Amino acid sequence: MDTNLIQQAMPSLRIARYRPEIDRAIATVLDGSSYILGPAVATFEAAFAARLGARHCIGVGNGTDAVALALGGLGIGPGDEVITTALTAPGTAQGIALTGARPVFADVDPVTGCLDVPAAERAITPRTRAIVVVHLYGHPADVAGFRALADSAGLALVEDCAHAHGARLGEQALGVFGDAAAFSFYPTKNLGCLGDGGAVVCGDPEVAARIRALRRYGWKAGAQISECVAGNSCLDEIQAAILSALLPHLDEGNLERRAAARAYRDGLGGTGLGMPPDDPGCVYHQFVVRHSRRDRLREALLHDHGVSCGVHYSPPLHQHPAFATAVPPSLPHTERLASEVLSLPIQGEIAARYLPRIVDALVSACAS
Ligand SMILES: *Cc1c(COP(=O)(O)O)cnc(C)c1O
């Protein structure tokens, strides 16, 4: 690997920064005698629920399963339609499909890239049972608008918070506005572990109990009796212990991302790049600029300047074979954004080392 290359995300830098705490967390699990759904998972579930102001947290295997189990816990399954965005990670729509329901894509807001309320409303059919909103790049989606739409149409609302750990709308953390919310702890997320991990949070104890059964063989609390058909998807003890060690640093990391976003806005003002919306509750899982010749710019940054940027997301999910339909949905804003978005490195540890170099590279690449 070219050691001069600035990568778009570098989770190993975060691990190095908090290494002593992570080592201690892992040692605690190794010194114990419980490896599946033991004290470390219970401790993290309580801490994460408290951090968000949520009533229940259920640790699961990954973010895709978190979407599936959130919907499953709300009773969504085969024959149902679930409205969502195509400008998201495959896990959002795969999680919907894992329940047996069909993802139905509606267009996004042209500025925020988040699912658009009127577009979602137009996509409702008699089979629609739920809406999954994504707080894209850590920017709060219009949850008040979606809550009102879901309530008036009798639909469940699920927040995909895989980009939004610690993000806020007013004083409230994202994740408490929906009937349930799904989190991923994939290593590059704002709160990430050293493998796969995820969680569902929700307010209703009966929904929480169903999700707990769905994550482990359909077992009801306290009995090893399978009450329903279910797979097996648990957050593991070592990842939970690592997450408990990293959770106290979440706000620090998010503040660093917000500071880096400010520095990018200042430094890139004259480049002509489209800047992301500036929301006080955003945690910048990605800092996403827009350029009409995105692919050319991305190549120049990589080859001439050693700066690797990301694209979140292209192609959009309605153009993936798994989700293609005979009559493709009309998603002009989604397709336009998918062709223009470019994710700059924004993780705090990268910004601390390289932000001026990345700004210089963009200024130079945009001028040529
Ligand atoms: C990462 C991600 C997921 C899936 O999470 P995994 O833990 O990788 O399964 C789902 N939705 C969004 C928006 C994501 O970014």
Cβ neighbours of 110 (radius 10 Å): 12
State the distance from the centre of ligand 1 to the C-alpha of 365, rounded, in angstroms. Answer: 31
- The alpha helices in 154-280, defined as continuous H runs, are 205-214, 237-246, 250-267
Q: Do the beta carbons of residue 162 and residue 184 sit within 8 Å?
A: yes
User: In terms of residue numbers, what domain contains 67?
Assistant: 12-248
The answer on 157 and 254 residing in a single domain is no
The answer for residues whose C-beta is within 8 angstroms of residue 195's C-beta and 6 or more apart is 187, 236, 238, 239
Residue 2 has pLDDT above 60, yes or no: no
312 CA closest ligand 1 atom index: 15
pLDDT band at 1 (very low <50, low <70, confident <90, very high): very low
d(CA 344, CA 338): 15
Percentage of the residues of the chain whose pLDDT score is greater than 70: 99
String of DSSP letters for 216-240: BTTBPTT---B-S---B---BHHHH
The answer on 304 and 229 residing in a single domain is no
pLDDT per position as a tens digit, 266-315: 999 999 999 999 999 999 999 999 999 999 999 999 999 999 999 999 99
User: What pLDDT score does 3 carry?
Assistant: 60
Residue 329 has pLDDT above 90, yes or no: yes
Hey, which of 8, 62, 64 would you mutate to test ligand 1's pocket, going by the most ligand atoms within 8 Å of its Cβ? 64
Residue with CA at minimum distance from ligand 1 atom 7: 63
**Burial profile 23-55: b = 16 or more Cβ within 10 angstroms, e = fewer:** eebbebbeeeeeeebbebbebbbebbbebbebe
pTM above 0.85, yes or no: yes
Residue 26 has pLDDT above 90, yes or no: yes
State the distance from the centre of ligand 1 to the C-alpha of 94, rounded, in angstroms. Answer: 10
- Cα separations in angstroms, 323 against 98, 102, 128, 253, 331: 12, 9, 17, 35, 14
**Domain boundary pick from 231, 248, 265:** 248
For ligand 1, say whether the CB of 186 is within 6 Å of any of its atoms.
Answer: yes
pLDDT per position as a tens digit, 186-232: 999 999 999 999 999 999 999 999 999 999 999 988 889 999 999 99
User: What pLDDT score does 311 carry?
Assistant: 98
To the nearest 10 degrees (0 to 180), the angle between helices 63-73 and 205-214 is 130
User: What pLDDT score does 368 carry?
Assistant: 84
Residue 348 forms part of a structural domain: yes
What's the whole-number mean pLDDT along residues 73-95?
98
State the distance from the centre of ligand 1 to the C-alpha of 87, rounded, in angstroms. Answer: 12
For ligand 1, say whether the CB of 89 is within 6 Å of any of its atoms.
Answer: yes
For ligand 1, say whether the CB of 335 is within 6 Å of any of its atoms.
Answer: no
67 CA closest ligand 1 atom index: 10
- Cα separations in angstroms, 194 against 117, 132, 164, 240, 266: 36, 27, 19, 10, 34
d(CA 137, CA 83): 19
State the distance from the centre of ligand 1 to the C-alpha of 61, rounded, in angstroms. Answer: 11
For ligand 1, say whether the CB of 94 is within 6 Å of any of its atoms.
Answer: no
The answer on 336 and 255 residing in a single domain is yes
The answer on 149 and 75 residing in a single domain is yes
Q: How far is CA 293 from the centre of its chain?
A: 27
What's the whole-number mean pLDDT along residues 321-350?
97
Q: What angle do CA 276, 281, 286 make, to 5 degrees?
A: 40
The answer on 115 and 75 residing in a single domain is yes
Residue 347 has pLDDT above 70, yes or no: yes
For ligand 1, say whether the CB of 286 is within 6 Å of any of its atoms.
Answer: no
**Structural domains in the chain (count):** 2
For ligand 1, say whether the CB of 160 is within 6 Å of any of its atoms.
Answer: yes
140 upstream amide cis, omega within 30 of 0:
no
Average pLDDT, whole number, for the chain? 97
95 CA closest ligand 1 atom index: 10
What's the whole-number mean pLDDT along residues 113-133?
98
The answer on 193 and 284 residing in a single domain is no
The answer on 116 and 151 residing in a single domain is yes
pLDDT per position as a tens digit, 141-192: 999 999 999 999 999 999 999 999 999 999 999 999 999 999 999 999 999 9
Residue 4 forms part of a structural domain: no
The answer for residues whose C-beta is within 8 angstroms of residue 269's C-beta and 6 or more apart is none
State the distance from the centre of ligand 1 to the C-alpha of 184, rounded, in angstroms. Answer: 5
CA dihedral angle for residue 346, residue 142, residue 317, residue 179, rounded to 10 degrees: 110
For ligand 1, say whether the CB of 51 is within 6 Å of any of its atoms.
Answer: no
- 3-state SS assignment for residue 37: coil
Give the CATH number of the domain where residue 257 resides.
3.90.1150.10
Give the CATH number of the domain where residue 196 resides.
3.40.640.10
The answer on 224 and 338 residing in a single domain is no
The answer on 175 and 307 residing in a single domain is no
The answer on 328 and 280 residing in a single domain is yes
The answer on 208 and 64 residing in a single domain is yes
The answer on 263 and 200 residing in a single domain is no
62 CA closest ligand 1 atom index: 7
For ligand 1, say whether the CB of 162 is within 6 Å of any of its atoms.
Answer: yes
Residue 57 has pLDDT above 70, yes or no: yes
